[in-house]
Amino acid sequence: MITRKALARRTFLRGTGAAVALPFLDSMVPAMAKAATAAEKPVRMAFVYVPNGIDMRNWNPDYEGKLETLPRILKPLDKFKGDFNLLGNLTHNAGRALLDGAGDHGRCCASYLSGVQPRKTMVDIKASQSFDQIVANQVGQKTRFKSLEVGMEDSRQAGDCDSGYSCAYTNNLAWRSETQPLPPILNPRALFDRLFGADAALSPEARKRRALYRRSILDLVSSDAKRLALDLGPTDQRKLDEYLSSVREIELQIERAEKDNSRIDPGMEKPYGIPSDFAEHFRLMTSMMTVAFQADLTRVATFLVTHEGTSRAYREIGIPDGHHPLTHHRNQPALMEKVAQINTYHVQQFAGWLEKLKSIQEGDSNLLDNSMIVYGAGLSDGNRHLHEDLPTLIAGRAGGKFQTGRRIVYRRETPMCNLFVTMMDRMGVPVDHFGDSNGALEGLDLT
């Protein structure tokens, strides 16, 4: 006879002013319901957006079908070849001028997830609710946060950022409504506190006391964790230990970043707490998204790596030139080479995130398998500002629904929004159409 009660999925470790959500544990599955629960595993979805297009000569393979030799920019993903699909010929017509003249950077970012052409203005901004927010409003009922909006580059939310397009367009991916963009959280500490509610919930005195003793959030919940551990089997104990260690590691990384914020000059001012080192910042933000997915704090995330039109320099890899000016290379090989290096550097960081997601077991699969992680840009050729054949890869198997490891080239002018319609369906939010979609994308599902 089975008498032991299953642990609730929404169990938190609690302490004074802190609440740490738990990852998916075997103990959360009632003994007689393992098979049913396997089918109900949450699917997560994230977008990683890189600006200014990609050097498409080094992105697109010259073949279709099974992913074999990867082009230069995608080389860092070599060991994940079986975990993603590389999609070709997806188009965002809403990013094109359509009589609105210059401003491709503003348009391509604002239309990327909203699927509509934004109004050309610096004042009364208007786009549309982005599809991630439509999903978040539905699946977010089951999680602590409807969605997470994350970024890495400090940027304005007002003024002219591209030929008459408001900075709100170039600096945000997610839109809560047609007039409300959701600015990304840039500061790792702020994101950490949002996820775990540590400092925000403390009284000013307690916050001061905690800062004085620099206590870890895990210290605050340690007695609860110890009590819980007594009820867990060895596998779950190991999972819990690994999870709490990764939370602690994030804390330590943030502390290190706050102490040492001046090793590398990115060419612009950084607010306190934001690491100067690009790779470290990327790792921190994605680590926290990982934890958020792992603990089912949210199932929807957007990550604006740097903002559209950015002129950030990449001295980390020996490139002192601004990213955006480089992309207008006029086919000069030396400049094109630098663009390819920046694109590759970004993908290297992304590969690190995939590795992390793949390393986290969830039942008989892993966190990456139970996700849809899109990496892409709103422009293909940044030199010519093209909005067709957008560089797009989607990693993860959507909870076992997608077949991965392939290069799929659709016909030209296939709407990017078709991908979104497909993803909405796999997130359990089916719609007839979104933006300019004319159906779902074929070829992704297991046959």
Partner 1 sequence: MQFASTAKPATAVLYDSDFGRNIDNVLALALLHGFASKTQARVSALTINYPCLEAAELCDIIEGFYRKAVTGPGATYMSAPAIGVIDARGKPAEAPALVTGTLAKQAEGGKPQWQSNVRHWSDTAVPANLIRNDLAAQYDGNAVMVATGAMTNLSRLLALHDTAPLIAAKVKMLVIAGGGFAAGAIDSGFAADATAAKHVLAEWPTPIVFCGREMEKTFLFPGQCIGKDFSYVPVHPIVEACRAYRAMPYDAPACALAAMLYAVRPGDGYFTASKPGTVSLGSDGRTSFNESAGGKHSYLTAVAAKHDEAIQRFTAMVSAEPVVIRPFRKQQKEEPPKEAPAAKS
d(CA 86, CA 273): 35
Least distance to partner 1, CB of residue 93, Å: 4
Contacts of 291 (CB under 8 A, 6+ apart): 195, 243, 246, 247, 250, 297
Q: How far apart are the first and last CA of the chain?
A: 40
Least distance from partner 1 to the Cβ atom of residue 438, Å: 6
Residue 37 Ramachandran class (φ > 0 left, ψ -120 to 50 alpha, else beta): alpha
**Distance set, CA 382 to CA 63, 170, 307, 447 (Å):** 23, 15, 14, 36
CB of 443 to partner 1, least distance (A): 11
Nearer to partner 1 by C-beta: 17 or 415?
Answer: 415
Helices (H), 122-187: 131-139, 167-170
Closest CB to partner 1 among residues 129, 437: 437
Residue closer to partner 1 (CB basis): 106 or 184: 106
Neighbours of 78 (CB within 10 A): 11
CB 90, min distance to partner 1, A: 11
SS3 286: helix
Residue with smaller CB distance to partner 1, 94 or 295? 94
Closest distance to partner 1 from the beta carbon of 413 (Å): 4
* Interaction site with partner 1 (CB under 8 A): 64, 88-89, 91, 93, 96-99, 101-102, 104, 330-331, 384-386, 388, 409-415, 432-433, 436-438
Is residue 327 a contact partner of residue 52, using CB atoms and an 8 Å limit? yes
Within 13 Å of residue 365, how many CA atoms lie on the same side as its CB? 20
Three-state SS for 352? helix
Alpha-carbon gap, residue 186 to 278, rounded angstroms:
12
C-alpha to C-alpha distance for 324 and 138, rounded to whole angstroms? 37
The alpha-carbon radius of gyration of the chain (Å, integer) is 22
Report, in Å, the least distance between residue 166 CB and partner 1. Answer: 17
Least distance from C-beta 270 to partner 1, angstroms? 32
Q: Which is nearer to partner 1, 90 or 319 (CB)?
A: 90
Cβ of residue 62: shortest distance to partner 1, in angstroms?
A: 11
| 40 vs 432 by CB, closer to partner 1 | 432
- The residue written with tokens 């909006």 in the block is 149
Residue number, 8 or 98, with CB nearest to partner 1: 98
Task: Find out whether 418 and 437 touch, Cβ atoms under 8 Å.
Answer: yes
> Of 140 and 164, which CB lies nearer to partner 1 in the complex structure?
164
